[in-house]
A and B are shown apart, each in its own frame.
Chain A
Amino acid sequence: MNQESESTLDNLTYLYRIYRLIVGLLSAGFVWIIWPYISNVVLILVFAFLFTTLLLKSVDGLERRINSRGLSVLIVTVGLLTGIGIFIGSFISKLSQQAIDFSNRIGQDTLTTEFNKLGQKFTALVPGGLAAGSGDFSSTLSSFVQMVVENLAGMAGALGGFLLNTAMILIFTIILLAEYHNFKKLLVSFFSNKYFEIGLTLVHNIEKSVSSYLRGQFLAAASVAVMSFAGLTILNLFGANLTLTVFIGIIAGLANLIPLVGPFVGMVPAILIAFMNNIGSDAAMAHQLFGVIPSPFYVLDIVVMFIIVQQIEGNLITPTLVGKSVGIHPMMVMISLIIGGTLMGPLGMLFAVPATGILKVIAQEMMFVRRNAHLL
């Protein structure tokens, strides 16, 4: 009799597992079908959540002083937007001042001559087969500009989409900041009585893991900004004649938050400034890296400097700082970055580490629940 009931129980458990597997597969299939329609909203929410986690401490701290949540959110958001506005505004104004000086200094003919000189230099460096197809450098540049103009409509559309998404992220961030603690309470209320305390700990630990990760990322970005600034200052000692070094450092640090693409974005303004400041200078045109490799306008020096900064950051700072803050081994950080990059590209790399941190917290809590199931 006992054996019979045990085998019935085994069968029921087996059936229940099959049922759970089917439900799981159906849910995954459903998400797969609707993903194209909801991916944008999910992305907006994820970014809003990340910004909220980043700004939460400031809002909570301010609320403590002025006793008003709404006003704290308003002050922090307006302060942040003003800071970004001032940074972008002063950068653009300094850059345009630089451009005006540049255009005053250089006539159209000089520019074409310099482009052609530069083109010849590159052509000389490229092997024969490739060089044959390169033709006149200035005409290649003109056709590139024409192509950009033709694609302007598409670019305007993309810019519109970007601005809309940014506005949505801002709105969601403000709502989340104002209602964060209520939303958290609501989320926890969905757990059944049995798993309630575990659920509360889980949410708390995920929150801690994500905020530690973001803190780590921003420390890494700050270190890139400082290292880039130091590198550019050293290049100036060797006569690179670079201006706006603080701005370039900050841009490189911020761009560093986006994996893969970021480091190259950081290089662009530095190369542009080097070109603008040194055009017309024969010494800069004839400059050689280590006295061997031709590096007109110090372009190669800048690229090498940024590669060194990226290597230090990527192999030393991020794995130690970010891995430590999320509690993941540096090797696991790299593996998760590779997996994220393979699955979703740069965006996947951006979310790879916090996602691994969240999965680690969930796995830990699940293991804890399995071990202590009899106590719940």
Chain B
Amino acid sequence: MKNALWKNIFQGWNRQESEAILTLKQVPVFKGFTDKEFQELEKLFHRRTYDVGEFIFKNRAPGEGMYIIMNGAVKITVGTRAENEKILAELSSGNFFGELALFDDEPRSANAIATVQSELLGFFTADLMMLNDRNPQLGNKILFNLGSVIGERLRQTNQLLFEEKSE
């Protein structure tokens, strides 16, 4: 028997998590977030599709925020697309890039190009500021986690520099 009350109470119990939330759960920046917080976050992300070879952003272009790869692959390069192109990193689903743009007004320091048709989630400074206004607890959590990720990367870079100098 269908009962509207029971239907209402149990609404959402067997809800499938969206692809965007499943992707966000893989990203260290959103480590330790509750399901409710992920639902809140999902509303802030911009879903974009890029074709093969399409630039997500170019080196020295103004940066507004970070991207998370939902499906597909992206290469991070410096130099032009011609023979002097140097690939810095090849990223796939669940990876993220461009997060430094959330903190400063400096231009992008590399190119980001889709190597296959890719679906990305974009998260931008304006959205982060708005989140800080509406839900500062969640905004602070993101900032704290981003700080941890950037700190970890800095530590790795220092280690690499140290090893380079030792050799």
Chain A residues at the B interface, C-beta cutoff of 8 Å: 57, 60-61, 63-64, 181-182, 185, 188-189, 193-194, 196-198, 200-201, 204, 368, 372, 375-376
| CB-contact partner of A193 in B50, B130, B133, under 8 A | B50
Of chain A, the residue at the smallest CB distance from B58 is: A375
B126 lies within 8 A of A201 (CB): yes
| CB-contact partner of A197 in B50, B59, B64, B130, under 8 A | B64
Interface contact tally, CB-CB below 8 A: 54
B151 at the interface (CB under 8 A from A): no
B61 lies within 8 A of A372 (CB): yes
B62 at the interface (CB under 8 A from A): yes
A181 lies within 8 A of B135 (CB): no
B134 lies within 8 A of A372 (CB): no
Total number of B residues with any Cβ neighbor in A under 8 Å: 26
| CB-contact partner of B124 in A63, A197, A372, A376, under 8 A | A197
Of chain B, the residue at the smallest CB distance from A368 is: B62
B122 at the interface (CB under 8 A from A): yes
Q: Hey, which chain A residues are within 8 Å of B46, CB to CB?
A: 185, 188-189, 196, 200
Q: Hey, which chain A residues are within 8 Å of B136, CB to CB?
A: 64
Least distance between B13 CB and chain A CB atoms (Å): 20
| CB-contact partner of A196 in B43, B60, B122, B134, under 8 A | B122
Least distance between A181 CB and chain B CB atoms (Å): 7
Contacts A197-B57, A375-B58, A376-B58 given; does A60 touch B133 at CB 8 Å: yes
Pairs of residues from A and B, 6 with the lowest C-beta to C-beta distance, nearest first: A375-B61, A204-B126, A197-B64, A60-B134, A375-B58, A60-B133
A-B contact pairs, 12 of them (CB 8 A): A60-B133, A63-B135, A64-B134, A181-B130, A189-B46, A193-B48, A197-B57, A197-B65, A197-B124, A372-B61, A375-B58, A375-B107
B134 lies within 8 A of A63 (CB): yes
Q: Hey, which chain B residues are within 8 Å of A193, CB to CB?
A: 48, 50, 54, 56
Of chain B, the residue at the smallest CB distance from A72 is: B134
Given contacts A200-B124, A376-B58, 6 further A-B contacts (CB under 8 A): A64-B135, A185-B43, A193-B50, A193-B56, A200-B64, A376-B61
Q: Hey, which chain B residues are within 8 Å of A201, CB to CB?
A: 62, 64, 126
A182 lies within 8 A of B64 (CB): no
CA distance A261 to B46 in the complex (A): 45
CA distance A189 to B55 in the complex (A): 17
CA distance A189 to B46 in the complex (A): 8
Least distance between B65 CB and chain A CB atoms (Å): 7
